[in-house]
Amino acid sequence: MGESGQTAPTTTDPARYFPVSARPYRMTVGLSAFGTDFGNGARDGQYFQRDRDAEHYRRAKAAVPLGRYRVLDGDDERRACHAAVLAWMAATLRREHPELLDASEPSYASIAQVVQEDFAVVRRGPHGRDEAIAVFVAFPSGWRPETIAGAGFKQIHGPVPGFAENDPAIASMLASMIERGPYVRFVWTITADDHLDHHPEEGRREAWRDGGDGWLRVERQVTVPFPAVGASLFLIRTYLYPFAMLGSEQRDTLAYALARMPAEIASYKGLNESARRIAERLRNS
């Protein structure tokens, strides 16, 4: 990668995803086979998607405090995981976007500068204990990524209503991430701004205002297995779609989903009573 991390611009529009269902919202795993075509053709088969917003993402990442990133490498097993994951990331980028890499030895930090995705590495250690051993998340959706280094899957997802509530379910999810796949899943919420970084202290998040704009915030999450070293790479790409970009059927579906969102999930997403008011606005737009 060059010293500035900048590469030639692209005119490709961002991929479009609309994972909203009219069914009541539930926090589920919802894994699909990686490469499933969601309407974006060949780009749905790319691990690292690059589009015309790449420079915007690069600048947003450059504004993130470096202390938010974490790497744990205090033993040979962790170092073996990092070596396997970094080799895969470098090889994949050279195949998908060779212009992003130079001849230098890639690192998590250097890769994070030039891709639009965030990422984390989870390792399953002795006695089945799992831990996050690398965390490079610049664009959290209201949580603190710097706190999860060394934490297990259950601890990380503890605040999420109805998700990973028992040990067998957690073990099954980890097995899917580490031993099978790759998989892709999506999560969504709505926001009153188009800021990528929603860290509770260091990011920016606007309050909902009557008559203000709104955005559908979608995360494309990809799990890449490394069974030989008992690890998984977790890629997170954040997309922001203004409500004005949505078609009338999509607005109706989003309104229906918001109106029927369980209270505990709306609270977790920071919507509270806003969800129903926003749903009514979408219906009437």
pLDDT in tens, 15-72: 999 999 877 666 556 789 999 999 999 999 999 999 999 999 999 999 999 999 999 9
The answer to whether residue 207 scores a pLDDT higher than 90 is no
Largest CA distance in the chain: 59
pLDDT of residue 262: 85
Nearest-angstrom CA–CA distance, 48 and 91: 12
- pTM for this model (two decimals): 0.90
Q: Are 100 and 93 in contact (CB under 8 A)?
A: yes
User: CB neighbours of 224 closer than 8 A, spacing ≥ 6?
Assistant: 47, 85, 88, 181, 182, 232, 233, 234, 235
pLDDT at position 200 is 93
Which pLDDT band, with edges at 50, 70 and 90, does 228 fall under?
Answer: very high
Please report whether residue 118 resides in a domain. yes
Structural domain includes residue 265: no
91-115 pLDDT, tens digit each: 999 999 999 998 788 999 999 999 9
Number of domains in the chain: 1
Is 112 within a domain? yes
* pLDDT (average), residues 229-250: 96
> What confidence tier does 157 reach under pLDDT thresholds 50, 70, 90?
low
Q: Give dist(CA 135, CA 86) in Å, integer.
A: 13
Supply the pLDDT for residue 3. Answer: 40
Host domain of residue 47: 32-186+219-239
**Percent of all residues in the chain with a pLDDT value above 90, rounded to a whole number:** 63
Does residue 26 lie within any of the structural domains? no
Rounded Cα distance, 25 and 57, in Å: 29
